[in-house]
């Protein structure tokens, strides 16, 4: 899907003569697939990043974002970037457990519950994530978190027993496992298909941020949002290392510099919007609030089970990652 345009010297001059409104095509164009809606702050942030790179590189590199799973679906994006079908893309990190247990670290229940802790976990474990990506020919550009995760349901839920048999939307292996441990019935569904899945009754419940519930108008299908603050998953923007190395050094530096700017802007935006999203759920008629004591205790117990299972899978490296975070 990478398209290369080269207009230099006479060709460029000719093109300019042909049309006054013609803007000089970029030397290199990168299509950037993303899974979430254009109006979500992750996508808006990436679009801003793309614009800044295009401008600061003087048009040497043009990045064009494709939100909403329009170019590749969410669960295809990682592979597309790894195989070079797309030079750059954005993916939910914790959906990549099959690629390495370290990617699931940010969906371990109750390891981090707020932005400061989430940032600390990221700063401590970024080199480990980068190493796994490097082995796959990928380079991490930046990450942005989702707000804390809460439980969306149609009916009041006082304990995990109330979730028995409920059709539950999962977005990764961890949320599927969580559903199983609750006695619910998980189905993996990408955010782009969420509205339809709830509208058709394929699912009745999920755990996600206020952000994704807002994007999908979940108040049309659910009534409650329990702020479990279960974990804070992140999206990451990755680039195919070969494609990146194909850029000249100045352009590479522009990409890295603007990635850093996008990362800081994205983290700030997530924090700024977190409560606003929850207020919007309430304004649209949902009952929002903390989980009751029993529900909270049940989730804590499930969290311990899941952490134990993850540690078995992730081995010494996993334990080292958690220890390094806790030592900070
Ligand atoms: N929204 C994404 C992942 C986590 C979140 O808050 C989703 O539901 O797909």
Largest CA distance in the chain: 73
Q: Residue whose CA is closest, atom 6 of ligand 1?
A: 209
3-state secondary structure 203-242: CCEEEECHHHHHHCCHHHCCCEEEECCCCCCEEEEEEEHH
- Tens of pLDDT, residues 190-237: 999 999 999 999 999 999 999 999 999 999 999 999 999 999 999 999
Residue nearest to atom 9 of ligand 1 (CA): 191
110 and 191 in a single domain? The answer is no
- Alpha-carbon distance of 239 to 84, in angstroms, equals 9
Exposure string over 230-260, b if 16+ CB within 10 A, otherwise e: bbbbbbbbbbbbebbeebeeebbebbbebbe
Say which residue the tokens 């028995």 belong to: 164
Q: Are residues 221 and 243 in the same domain?
A: no
Which residues pair with residue 170 across a beta bridge? 188
Asked if 55 and 114 sit in the same domain, the reply is yes
Q: pTM for the complete prediction?
A: 0.92
Q: Are residues 135 and 252 in the same domain?
A: yes
Query: What tens digit of pLDDT does each residue of 161-196 get?
Result: 999 999 999 999 999 999 999 999 999 999 999 999
For residue 149, give the ligand 1 atom closest to its CA. Answer: 6
Instruction: Output the CA 53–ligand 1 centroid distance in Å.
Output: 27
Instruction: Provide the pairing of β-strand 205-208 with 150-153.
Output: antiparallel
Q: Which atom of ligand 1 is nearest to the CA of 94?
A: 3
Q: Are residues 308 and 219 in the same domain?
A: yes
CA geometry: angle 37, 155, 212, nearest 5 deg: 10
Say yes or no: 75 and 217 in one domain.
no
d(CA 141, CA 264): 12
Give residue 280's pLDDT band: very low, low, confident or very high (50, 70, 90).
Answer: very high
Q: Are residues 112 and 256 in the same domain?
A: yes
pLDDT band at 306 (very low <50, low <70, confident <90, very high): very high
Ligand 1 binding residues, C-beta < 6 A? 92, 146, 171, 191, 208-209, 211-212, 233
Do 205 and 62 share a structural domain? Answer: no
Q: Which residues have C-beta within 8 Å of that of residue 133, sequence separation ≥ 6?
A: 139, 140, 238
Q: Please list the residues that pair with 88 across neighbouring strands.
A: 239
We report the CATH number of the domain holding residue 158 as 3.40.190.170
Q: How many domains does the chain have?
A: 2
The number of the ligand 1 atom at minimal distance from the alpha carbon of 147 is 6
Q: What is the dihedral of CA 291, 167, 191, 75, to 10 degrees?
A: 120
| Three-state helix/strand/coil letters over 13-78 | HHHHHHCCCCCCCCCEEEEEECCCCCCCHHHHHHHHHHHHHHHHCCCCEEEEEECCCCCCCHHHHH
pLDDT in tens, 31-45: 999 999 999 999 999
Instruction: Give the position of tokens 């940032």.
Output: 119
For residue 10, what pLDDT band results from cuts at 50, 70 and 90?
very low
pLDDT at residue 26 in the model: 74
CA 7 to centroid of ligand 1, rounded, Å: 41
Residues 179 and 43 in one domain: no
Q: Both 246 and 224 in a single domain?
A: no
323 lies in which domain range?
150-231+275-327
State how far the Cα of 83 lies from the Cα of 76, in Å rounded to an integer. Answer: 11
**Model pLDDT, residue 25:** 62
> Does one domain contain both 67 and 133?
yes
Same domain (yes/no): 184, 59: no
CA of 32 to the centre of ligand 1 (A): 19
Contact between residue 162 and residue 152 where contact means Cβ atoms under 8 Å apart: no
């Amino acid at each position: 899907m990478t398209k290369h345009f080269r207009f230099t010297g006479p060709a460029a001059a000719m093109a300019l003569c042909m049309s006054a409104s013609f803007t000089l095509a970029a030397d290199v164009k990168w299509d950037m697939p993303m899974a979430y809606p254009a109006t979500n702050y992750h996508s808006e942030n990436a679009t801003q990043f793309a614009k800044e790179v295009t401008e600061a590189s003087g048009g040497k590199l043009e990045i064009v974002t494709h939100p909403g799973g329009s170019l590749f679906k969410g669960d295809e994006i990682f592979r597309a970037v790894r195989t070079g079908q797309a030079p750059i893309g954005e993916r939910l990190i914790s959906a990549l457990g099959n690629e390495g247990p370290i990617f699931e670290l940010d969906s371990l229940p109750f390891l981090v519950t707020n932005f400061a802790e989430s940032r600390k976990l990221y700063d401590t474990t970024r080199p480990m994530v980068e190493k796994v990506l490097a082995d796959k020919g990928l380079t991490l550009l930046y990450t942005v978190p989702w707000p804390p995760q809460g439980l969306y349901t149609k009916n009041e839920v006082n304990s995990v027993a109330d979730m028995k048999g409920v059709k539950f939307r999962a977005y990764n292996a961890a949320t599927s496992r969580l559903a199983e441990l609750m006695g619910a019935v998980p189905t993996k569904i990408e955010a782009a298909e969420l509205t339809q899945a709830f509208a058709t009754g394929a699912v009745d419940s999920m755990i996600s941020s206020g952000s994704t519930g807002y994007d999908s108008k979940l108040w049309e299908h659910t009534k409650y949002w329990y702020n479990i603050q279960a974990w804070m998953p992140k999206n990451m923007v990755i680039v195919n290392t070969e494609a990146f190395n194909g850029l000249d050094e100045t352009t590479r530096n522009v990409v890295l510099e603007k990635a850093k700017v996008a990362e800081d802007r994205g983290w700030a935006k997530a924090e700024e919007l977190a409560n606003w999203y929850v207020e919007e759920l309430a304004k649209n008629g949902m009952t929002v609030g903390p989980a009751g004591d029993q529900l909270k205790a049940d989730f804590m117990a499930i969290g311990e089970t899941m952490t134990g299972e993850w540690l078995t899978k992730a081995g010494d490296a996993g334990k080292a990652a958690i220890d390094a975070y806790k030592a900070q």
